[in-house]
Structures are given as C-alpha cells and as structure tokens.
Chain A
C-alpha cells in the first residue's frame, strides 16, 4: 500500500517527535548502557565483552539482598498505597457530588505542587530527633527523651506511600466514577451484603484502574531514589542507591549499567506477573 506523497510527508512529520523521543532519549541510551554492562575492564582503557558484571551481582550477597529487599518493599508499598487509596477514591467517586468532590480531588493534588525534595525535607522536619513529633511526645510526657523516627523501614514506607498516593487515587477515581450506581444497588437488592457487593461488583469493575494504579506506583517506588535515601539514611539499602554508588562514587559505570538492566528486568517481570495474576492485559489497563 502506497500513501500519497503529501500524506506520507505529513505522517513522517507527525511521527518525528515521537521517534526522536524514542530513539534519542530511550533507545540509544539503553543500547549504550547494555554495551557498557557487558564490558569488563581488564586493564587501563582496555575492555572485553563478558558477563562478569552480572556475575558480580550474584556473587556478592549485599547486591542481590538489596535487590530483593527493594522489590519486596516496593510491592509492600504498592499494596499499602492501594489499601489506603481505595476507600479515599471510593469516597470521592461515589459518595460525593459536585464541588466538594472536585475540592477533595484537588486536595490530593496539592502536595504535588511542591517538589519531592521539599516534601521529603518536610517529613524530616517532622520526624527527626529534634523534630516536631519528638518535641510533642516529650512535652506531653509520653517520652522521656528525644525520639528518633527517621532512618528505619517504617519511615521509608510512610514516605513512599505518601509520594505514591495520588498516582493510585487518580486511576481509581476515574474507574469508580464510571461504575453505575444501579449496579451497586442491584447487588444489594439481589441479596448481597457490603462484602459481596465489594468483591463481586465493585472490585471487578475497578480492576483495570486498580492494575494501572498499581503498575504506576510500583514502578515509581522501585525507581525512587530521593525518598528512601533521605528518610532511610545509610541503612535504606535501596537498589537505586547502589546504582548511584557504583556510577558516581566508585566510577564503576560497567557494574552500574548491569544493575540498571537488572532493575529493568525485575520491574518488567513483576508487572508481567501482576497482569497474569489479575487476568488483565496491558492494553485493557492503559486504554
């Protein structure tokens, strides 16, 4: 099939920004990263192709433990975000009408007008040893000395959930909005109780929104650097921090690139598994 020349030109022009974006900003860097990840430094300025960088990952427990820990905590953070965001979204989408609905939706958005760095510093002001919560506890007599609430896993989790909440609420609100109230009423009318209506009608209807929210939140969390490092400190052991260390601190680009590819593989694998378990397809979820 041949397109007429002007139509074809128009098509190319329209495609150009997309192709540029894909090739220059995504494809080329990844090719380069991949080549880096399979090269091994044998002497100064001499490299050879090998899987040594990947082997190092598996032979050093710190690396793959950090990797596994990051994956598990990201899954936990995604699940926690869902559990918190679902009632909020249901309330906004189904219980409220008109201006109050728009207002509450906007409230979820407000924290994102501030940069992530500033928001995270905000948490540090609240939670550090000399921070507001610590002083409040001492003043009220609940604690006898300063309490350090930073630099532990729970704090990292709080920060991650807080950062991710909006990205779960938006897809959930939009799918729940499209749920006809009559379906919920019919669910009750035919003898269902709150639990069965939720399980049989509301959740299946919201499934595409749930899955797309979870994918977005999971990817954001897995690739997050700022929140785990600032709130978790040296003990955060987040895999992105390992990549940073290799590339910036140790100037070992080859190992850093290999880590990057492992992270990409991991996130793809977990998203694929999530889609399989929830019996959704990517097109259904994003469409």
Chain B
C-alpha cells in the first residue's frame, strides 16, 4: 500500500460494526488509491458486504471513520455520497427502459435534457449497446444487464464504484468473460473499483490489490501475487488458491528453515511463513501449492530437492490446463494434489504407476497452528 494518504479515494479507519455482541466488522483499516481495482475476498458471512454497505451509506459503523476523497462521510446519506453501488442482483429498474435506467442518476443531478441524452448515448456506446436504449430490461441478456448496471453508476462519475458480487448470478462461461470485461471497463472509465467476492479467481484476475477477510477481520492486504506466494496466515494460504496441507510438530530448526514431523509420520522441510521464527516443538500447518510440486517419472530428476516422495498415482483429474494428479504416499497413506502439466510428457500416465515428487523448502510454507483451546 502506498504511504501517500492524499492519494486514497476511499479510506476506512478502525472500522467496527457490532450487531449486539457480534462483531461483523472488527477494527478494519484500509485505503484504496485512486484508479485501483480493490477486492475484498472472503467466505460468506465474513462481513465483507457489511463494509460495502457502510461505504455506500446503507449501514452505519459502530465506531471508526470512512473517508471518501479525503472527507469523512459519517452521517452523510447514501444519495449524497460520491460513490455508487452495483448490487448483487443488479437492481435495475424493471419499469424503465435501458436508457431511462442510465439516465436516472443524471436526472436526479438536475442536468439538462440534451446533456443527459448525450451522456446516456455515449455510455450506451461504451458498453457496446448503442441501439438498446429503448429496450426493456427484461429483453437484455445477463451480461448486457451487468453492463447496464455498471454504466448506470459510471455516468455519474463516482469517486468509487462499489460492486457486491455482481457476477454471482451468471453462468461460468459468461462469468469468465465478464471478468475480462469488467477490468476493461475499469480501465476505460478510470474509476476506482471496490469489488466484493467470495470467488478467489475473480479477485486474483481483476484486482490490483486484494484484502482477504475472515470473521470480521482483514487477514492480509496485498497484490494477488503477494497473497498467492507469500500468504501471511494459514487462512490466506488455504483460502487463496489450492494447497496440500500437513499438520505437524517442529523437530529441528536452523536459519534456513524448519524440519517438521507431520501427524502421519512424514518428515518435511519448510520455511516459516513471513519470516516469523518457529521454535522447536511448535505445532505448525504446512501448505504446498499443487503447481510447485515437480512431478517426474525418473527419481533422478527430483533427487536434489528438499522434499521428496515416491508414490502411487491414485487418479488423474483431467480439467484441461488445470489438470491434477492425485498421488498417495505409501508410508503415511496421505494423498497429494499435484499439477499435471499438459505438455505431452505425462500423456501415457496410468493409475497405479509409481511417480516421484519433489519440492523445495521455500515452496513449503509453515504457519504456527492456532492453539486448539481458542
């Protein structure tokens, strides 16, 4: 995050929202720089929608402050805030035409009729629906509605656009397409986007910065790469991307890393996540990405790696470029999820075949396990 406070379009300071005794949002602080695509990623019920609704003005924080363009907006009603929201189910007005939907906010601003007409037409051009102004909302497809909902907000030139899981209702193919399109729209309008989602791929693909949220708190804020390769907490490691996971106890340590004996008896070398030292005897969780494991048919290829396993291929989960191999470790019986490169090398792979796996210490991140008493 840049330190320059002046550049933040949107800033939350020590934001708290209590429902009775329950803290839906628990002391959250963050800033969104101008033009950023900022995502808040978290499981449902983690409080991310509550943050968005507080920024839009539909909910009031119990304590803390929200600044938009450097000014506190506490007590400012939603219709006076320079941010606009794209609702989960879009909330397009069914009783109005497409053009009337886009014009709604402009009319409320009191612009002249001809000016509104021009702005609406240019917005329709930009979302690639130049002749759909007179259509009813019900005549549009899901993706077109999506674009109208965004255009309806962006014609108002808001300081930030708040999006509440707007892709959730679309089918997979369209969702993939809309990810790219949303990113393009954001570049085109050069507006700050704050995007709420529980889908990690949406957050990783589109965002400049992502905040991972869990139980009302931010676990980590960073670029998608930082979150993926250097997660700060076990929650981030498990929630962002897929991982192989072991639970174990530290048996030895040196300056490079730790040796861990897993619950099922494997010896693993790992590096403490975020450089936080782990002492001997500490309980840890180790995460290894499927794609950081090298898969080979010859044992020599993985001979110089820190961690090595030879095991039986249990099954192949074919999914195009995301294909996986499931390998069972004969000593512990544990199964590993390994990326299966579709380069042709492994096309003859069969179930039951013995394969050799290896990964480096740096690719295995060890996190101190949360004590079970908590």
Q: Does A130 lie at the interface of the complex (its beta carbon under 8 Å from any beta carbon of B)? A: no
From known contacts A189-B78, A192-B79, infer whether A182 and B105 are also in contact, taking CB-CB under 8 Å. Answer: no
Q: Which residue of A180, A189, A205 is within 8 Å of B79 (Cβ)? A: A189
Contact B87 A186 (CB under 8 A): yes
Q: With A and B bound together, what is the CA distance between A200 and B100 in angstroms?
A: 11
A178-237 contacts to B (CB < 8 Å)? 180, 182-183, 185-193, 196, 200-201, 204-205
Contact A189 B93 (CB under 8 A): no
Contact A188 B79 (CB under 8 A): yes
Contact A185 B79 (CB under 8 A): no
Name which residue of chain A comes closest to B84, CB basis: A189
Contact A201 B89 (CB under 8 A): no
From known contacts A185-B78, A204-B95, A205-B95, infer whether A191 and B105 are also in contact, taking CB-CB under 8 Å. Answer: yes
Q: With A and B bound together, what is the CA distance between A180 and B95 in angstroms?
A: 13
Q: With A and B bound together, what is the CA distance between A280 and B131 in angstroms?
A: 27
How far does the Cβ of A1 sit from chain B's closest Cβ, in whole Å? 33
How far does the Cβ of B52 sit from chain A's closest Cβ, in whole Å? 11
Q: Does B172 lie at the interface of the complex (its beta carbon under 8 Å from any beta carbon of A)? A: no
Contact A183 B91 (CB under 8 A): yes
Contact A183 B93 (CB under 8 A): yes
Interface size on A, residues (CB 8 A): 17
Beta-carbon contacts of A160-189 to B below 8 Å, as 1s and 0s?
A: 000000000000000000001011011111
Contact A190 B156 (CB under 8 A): yes
Chain B residues near A192 (CB-CB < 8 A): 79, 104, 108
Q: Does B85 lie at the interface of the complex (its beta carbon under 8 Å from any beta carbon of A)? A: yes
Name which residue of chain A comes closest to B80, CB basis: A191
Contact A191 B91 (CB under 8 A): no
Chain B residues near A190 (CB-CB < 8 A): 79, 84, 104-105, 108, 152-153, 156
How far does the Cβ of A185 sit from chain B's closest Cβ, in whole Å? 6
B interface, size bucket: 20 to 34
Q: Does B77 lie at the interface of the complex (its beta carbon under 8 Å from any beta carbon of A)? A: yes
Q: Does B177 lie at the interface of the complex (its beta carbon under 8 Å from any beta carbon of A)? A: no
B143-159 contacts to A (CB < 8 Å)? 152-153, 156
Contact A189 B56 (CB under 8 A): yes
Chain A residues near B96 (CB-CB < 8 A): 200
How far does the Cβ of A260 sit from chain B's closest Cβ, in whole Å? 39
Q: With A and B bound together, what is the CA distance between A270 and B87 in angstroms?
A: 41
Beta-carbon contacts of B263-286 to A below 8 Å, as 1s and 0s?
A: 000000000000000000000000
How far does the Cβ of A182 sit from chain B's closest Cβ, in whole Å? 4
Q: With A and B bound together, what is the CA distance between A187 and B84 in angstroms?
A: 11
How far does the Cβ of B366 sit from chain A's closest Cβ, in whole Å? 44
Contact B108 A185 (CB under 8 A): no
Q: With A and B bound together, what is the CA distance between A188 and B93 in angstroms?
A: 12
B85-142 contacts to A (CB < 8 Å)? 85, 87-89, 91-96, 104-105, 108-109
Q: Does B189 lie at the interface of the complex (its beta carbon under 8 Å from any beta carbon of A)? A: no
Contact A188 B77 (CB under 8 A): yes
A190-B79, A191-B156, A192-B79 known; 17 new pairs, CB 8 Å cut-off, are A182-B88, A182-B89, A185-B56, A185-B78, A186-B92, A188-B78, A189-B56, A189-B57, A189-B58, A189-B79, A189-B84, A189-B85, A190-B84, A190-B108, A190-B156, A191-B105, A200-B93
Q: List 21 A-B contacts (CB under 8 A).
A: A180-B91, A182-B89, A183-B91, A183-B93, A185-B56, A185-B58, A185-B78, A185-B87, A185-B91, A186-B91, A186-B92, A189-B84, A189-B85, A190-B84, A190-B108, A190-B152, A192-B79, A193-B79, A200-B104, A201-B93, A204-B95
- Spell out A's residues near B (CB within 8 Å): 180, 182-183, 185-193, 196, 200-201, 204-205
